[in-house]
Amino acid sequence: MTPPTLLRPVDPREVRFFSGSSNRPLARAIAEWLDIPLTPTHISRFSNDNLYVQLGGSCRGRVVFVMQSLSPPVNDHLMELLMMLDAARGAAAREVHAVIPYFSFARSDKKDAPRISITARLVADLLVTSGATHVMTMMLHSPQVHGFFSLPTDPLTARAVLANHFRNEDLEGAIVVAPDMGSAKSAARFADNLGVPVAAGNKERVADNRVVISSLVGHQVEGFRRAIIFDDEIATGSSVIELARLLQQRGISCVDVASTHGVFVKGALNRLHSESVIRNIIVTDTVERAADSAHPRLRVLSVAPVFGEAIQHNWHRQSIGTLFDYGQELEDSPAG
């Protein structure tokens, strides 16, 4: 893939693009899309287990992009990111952009128990302290997390990437269903993109890996044959499984799952595979999949073009409105 011709390419002499260890394949794909080198990052550990991070190229006076997904092991990857940002600032970078495809701490977005940290806000503050001048991420767990950042922050969307996967299919008799009301608005945008109705589950989380979905809100699913469950993230898969079972009880014979972040912990893929009603699981590459973890029902789509276009527009001081999570959908033309 090559960048749109309406904008000049990013100047590789003025830009440095680095990656931590969490998702180097996506970093390489973004760099390739931009036609710039992925400058090496040297990461190791001292004998006392402290991390050692060194950026492998000069940052002085340059615009620096540092890419790191906060995927497991989350705390190690967060520390890598903070150290890379601090190193770029200390090396006199002109701008320091933190590119975080998966911001896992977004799930800690409220104080729902006494004496706990709103960790999403804490991490947002740490990014500023470490030297970031701008943050680029994708599909935050809830919109209010955007407000935790005190520096310019662009939450991008993968809805168009996921929707393009389904556009060539026969969607007659299909309905999009969100697991809960928190993801209902995003699911509604996705359904509108596909031209199908939308419904949402009434979900109660009783534990980290256990939820109860007692009913559906919005459009009734009776009479539909196929459902597309749309969510921002699949971790243990409990929400998807609970919803898929409810939909099957309501007469749905086929369920596809579409999600931006495929984290898949605690045997989630095998648990999803055991549900006969679930046909396909579609995710993006914001979280790296191990090379030996191929799964017959799993399809991974790349968001490298979305991040590449956002970086290119940012470099040229152009709007990225059509890539924005709460804005219009990604079109064939560049962002306006």
List the catalytic residues. Answer: 203
Distance CA 214, CA 216 (A): 7
Of 193, 161, 153, 123, nearest in space to 260 by CA: 161
Burial of residue 98 (CB within 10 Å: 0-12, 13-18, 19+) is buried
Q: Write the CB contacts of 39 (distance below 8 Å, at least 6 apart in sequence).
A: 16, 17, 18, 55, 56, 57
| Pure H helices in the chain | 24-34, 74-90, 119-130, 159-167, 184-194, 238-249, 268-273, 304-315
Distance CA 45, CA 51 (A): 5
Of 155, 132, 70, 196, nearest in space to 327 by CA: 155
- Contact between residue 315 and residue 334 where contact means Cβ atoms under 8 Å apart: no
DSSP secondary structure letter of residue 105:
G
DSSP track, 139-207:
--SSGGGGGG-SS-EEEE--HHHHHHHHHTS--TTEEEEESSGGGHHHHHHHHHHHT--EEEEEEEEEE
DSSP secondary structure letter of residue 324:
B
- β pairing state of 41-45 and 51-55: antiparallel
- Sheet-wide strand order for 278-284: 210-218, 198-207, 174-178, 226-234, 254-262, 278-284, 298-301
DSSP secondary structure letter of residue 30:
H
